[in-house]
Amino acid sequence: MPHTFILIHGGFHGGWCWERVVPLLEAAGHRALAPDLPGMGSDMTPHDGITLASHADCVADMLRAEAGPVVLVGHSMGGMVVGEAAERVPECIAGLVFVTAAMRLAESPAGSIGSVPPMTVSEDGLSMIGDPAVAPGFFYNTTDPALVEAAIARLRPQPIATMMAPLTTTRERFGALPRSFVECTLDHAIPHEFQRAMQEDLPCDPVFTLETDHSPFFCAPDRLVECLLESAESFAG
């Protein structure tokens, strides 16, 4: 059975981070979309006014435009975006896949979900700028160096407001959807213990464990696609 996947990137990245995953999903007979969130990737929307809500609204609009329920995938901070989008339009979603991603309810206990790399604030105060010298060890510590170099060249500042807004996700809407989790045991951005803590609050089924860094779409695309396809089949079953 063919599925439609919408793949949501995390902070500092764009839809380009899924470029090794999309062709594999398509080759398996499925449809895959990897949009740039507003102000990220190649989208030049000014960061003034970009919030977590506006990112979630963008994804929710994409979901409403689809003919049937979608498998919605979030990586890293993109987990917050897919959670908020799911809260808006749960009827448009077959299931959620969290790829070493932020997965929280508004009522979840306060606390860190990961590490924070060295960052500076842009002159206009709207964005956080990461240190490119730190990115290889933070995001890509098991990824081929050639891929790392290309990825770092495409990283962009992250709108600060997307990281500051309170969540609105509830157990009754977002929390009631089927969901799976792809753990990455060598992740330096969201360490494995934080991934497990989020799952204790919001159990997932199935759960996949990859011995990779924070970016399995680069270092283990074939295995990641297997996880996505198995998740989709479990949601459909």
Q: Choosing from 75, 187, 215, 231, which is the catalytic residue?
A: 187
Cα of first residue to Cα of last residue in the chain, in angstroms, is: 11
Decide if 214 is catalytic: yes
**Contact 122/98 with Cβ under 8 angstroms?**
no
Decide if 187 is catalytic: yes
Phi, psi values for residue 52, rounded to 5°: -60, -40
Q: What stretch of H or E contains 150?
A: helix 145-154
Q: Choosing from 13, 30, 75, 76, which is the catalytic residue?
A: 76
Chain-centre distance of CA 32, in angstroms? 14
The beta strands (E) that lie in 61-212 are given as: 70-75, 93-99, 119-121, 127-130, 158-159, 179-184, 207-210
C-alpha pair distances (Å), 149 with each of 42, 140, 158? 18, 10, 19
Helix (H, G, I), strand (E, B) or coil at 56: helix
Residues recognised as catalytic? 76, 187, 214
